Structure 1
Amino acid sequence: MTADLFEAVPDERPSREAMAEGAVLLRRYAKPFENEVVAALREIIAQAPFRRMFTPGGHQMSVAMTNCGTAGWVTDHSGYRYDGFDPNSGQPWPAMPTVFREFAGQAAAAGGFDRFGPDACLINRYAPGARMSLHQDRDEQDFAAPIVSVSLGLPAIFLFGGPKRADKPKRYRLEHGDVVVWGGPSRLFFHGVAPLADGEHALMGRQRINLTFRKAR
């Protein structure tokens, strides 16, 4: 992690936008490290390819996903949970790359949460039309730790609500390199992603990749 986040060209400088108490949007924060992050991402996908999981109710998710770290998020007929093994291969999930772990800790600190040590990274792939319904991240054991979410590829509309499902969410356009950090009073706020519009990203193609770092255990 040798890049200096604030040596980018002026139009590409990171900026910080408050979303709610404990929640911030760090625009363009990941762009200085995109080559390192994408290279590590490709190695993970080669070991644990994307798959579309089924919810406990039998619905196939529109978002494809995989994981890295000592724990990976999975869903099937028995419920939502973290597991140390990839159900497709029976092998442990790929180790979290150093660049992932260090970047997540740095982004969390920029968002106001020091000493964040993620043990899980959920990797979601959105094709055009894919969406994520409003939900809370509550399968983790440690709600004191924040969530760090990194956007790569096509822009998406991120929906960030409140502690109740009925709370009207605010809409944020997330572009390549944007990072959202939320925790503390906002840790269990409902959030989601509107259906992804079609397009072509110069580096990532016709997709959006979302890296979501958690302290699962």
Structure 2
Amino acid sequence: MTKEENVHLVPNSADDAPRVTNQLQGSVGDANAVLSRPSGRVVWCHKTELALISCRYCGSLEPMPMPMPAGSGGVAHALFVSKDRRIPKIRIQTRQLGNLLDKRIVVAVDSWDCLSRYPSGHYVRTIGEIGDRDTESEVVLIENDIDARPFASQILACLPPLPWSVSSEDLANPIRQDLRHVRVCSVDPPGCKDIDDALHCTALPDGNFEVGVRIL
């Protein structure tokens, strides 16, 4: 509120919430003056947060016991259920309902009418089959805002040219250790672009085992 005339105080009777009172010593005798917190009412919204609008969500269409009839132009109505259970169902319209019922899809929210139970949105793209490992992995990346796109040419230009081998300068560096004789196995998943977690296990002459954890 920027103008004092937009602020209105209402009587205490308009607020039924529990009150915390402060006992203040009165100026005359031992009488106590009881002061309640002020009450008010909203008269104007300066700004509306639209965090839900224009956001994209991963999920699937709500299973239906029978196909919903298509409207004019073959457009069918469906409810989208996000993987994030905090997000309400989203009402969408699509001409390819039959192809989307068993898919993980991306939906964007367009608006939310004040008289509607659900927000309205539109279909963006299909990720893949429900339950497929690659599909569900991509859903996790999208839901957590992790960019999994291929590296740009500017980034690839920072790498040494192929074929690459260990240089004599690297071998002569006193702060580096040559462990190429150790059999090290990566524990990163197939297709990983950043292979930086590995293990090795070597049998020692005394019967013990040396286990190394390599985190780069």
User: Shorter-chain TM-score category?
Assistant: under 0.3
The answer to which structure, 1 or 2, has the higher relative contact order (CA under 8 A, 6+ apart) is 1
Tell me which structure has the larger Cα radius of gyration: 2
TM-score (norm 2): 0.20
TM-score (norm 1): 0.20
